[in-house]
């Protein structure tokens, strides 16, 4: 008898580019949050749901999808900022007494400032990586740099200008992220460049 032949099949699972939903999540949460910082709306009660579901879950979903595509940069960026918005949502809930008045009374905004400073360091590193992707992403990261500079100054040393800087940077992040979302969807869906994103500033490799 001849030995049986073994048939090996490889199955490729195709995952769509998750950057569109990641950009959309970032756009919506920063659009809503900036309205509060700019004084157009009041309080954070109705910012929290958008922070959790769009800022956090949408970007974490994009992170997991980018991981399947082997995109370390995208997975790290979307994941890091997704978890940032989860932490912010919980911080707002703590400050507003959701978990008890004792914890709210113990909240030290200097600790929040240290977190903002840590994210600034992280974002500066990611900004360099974004320069090798495309111009829209690069300028989104530059604006995120300014957002964390403003948040850090306001939380750590009480500089009022820091609050204003963070507010306007956050609004511009939202608008540019809406554009990035539109480009990711339309350019792929229509198979041509509808919304240009610009060539990268630096080459990979």
pLDDT tens, 116-139? 999 999 999 999 999 999 999 999
Each residue of 102-117: pLDDT tens digit?
Answer: 888 888 889 999 999 9
Is the Cβ–Cβ distance between 34 and 50 less than 8 Å?
no
Please check whether residue 63 lies inside any domain of the structure: yes
Please check whether residue 196 lies inside any domain of the structure: no
| Coil, strand or helix at 203 | coil
Please check whether residue 88 lies inside any domain of the structure: yes
Give the residue from 8, 3, 37 showing the smallest Cα distance to 170.
37
Please check whether residue 13 lies inside any domain of the structure: no
Give the distance between the most distant pair of CA atoms in the chain: 85
Please check whether residue 3 lies inside any domain of the structure: no
pLDDT tens series, the chain, 205 aa: 555 566 666 555 566 889 999 999 999 999 999 999 999 999 999 999 999 999 999 999 999 999 999 999 999 999 999 999 999 999 999 999 888 898 888 888 899 999 999 999 999 999 999 999 999 999 999 999 999 999 999 999 988 999 999 999 999 999 999 999 999 999 999 999 999 999 999 988 7
Please check whether residue 5 lies inside any domain of the structure: no
Question: Can you give the pTM of this predicted structure?
Answer: 0.90
Q: 109-130 and 135-157 are packed helices; what angle lies between their axes, rounded to 10 degrees?
A: 160
| Coil, strand or helix at 71 | coil
Containing structural domain, residue 165: 19-190
Give the residue from 177, 140, 148, 204 showing the smallest Cα distance to 26.
177
Please check whether residue 61 lies inside any domain of the structure: yes
Tally the domains of the chain.
1
| DSSP annotation of 55 | I
């Amino acid at each position: 008898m001849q030995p049986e032949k073994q048939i090996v099949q490889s199955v490729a699972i195709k995952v769509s580019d998750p950057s569109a939903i990641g950009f959309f999540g970032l756009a919506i949460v920063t659009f809503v949050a900036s309205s509060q910082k700019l004084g157009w709306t009041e309080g954070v009660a109705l910012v929290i749901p958008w922070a959790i579901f769009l800022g956090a879950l949408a970007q974490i979903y994009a992170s997991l999808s980018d991981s399947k595509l082997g995109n370390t940069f995208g997975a790290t960026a979307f994941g890091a900022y997704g978890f940032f918005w989860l932490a912010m949502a919980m911080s707002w809930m703590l400050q507003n007494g959701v978990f008890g008045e004792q914890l709210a009374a113990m909240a030290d905004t200097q600790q929040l400032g240290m977190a903002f400073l840590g994210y600034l360091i992280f974002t500066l590193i990611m900004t360099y990586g974004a320069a090798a992707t495309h111009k829209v992403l690069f300028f989104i990261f530059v604006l995120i740099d300014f957002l964390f500079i403003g948040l850090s100054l306001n939380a750590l040393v009480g500089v009022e200008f820091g609050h204003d800087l963070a507010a306007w940077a956050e609004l511009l992040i939202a608008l540019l992220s809406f554009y990035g979302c539109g480009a990711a969807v339309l350019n792929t869906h229509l198979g041509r460049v509808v919304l240009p994103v610009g060539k990268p500033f630096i080459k990979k490799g």
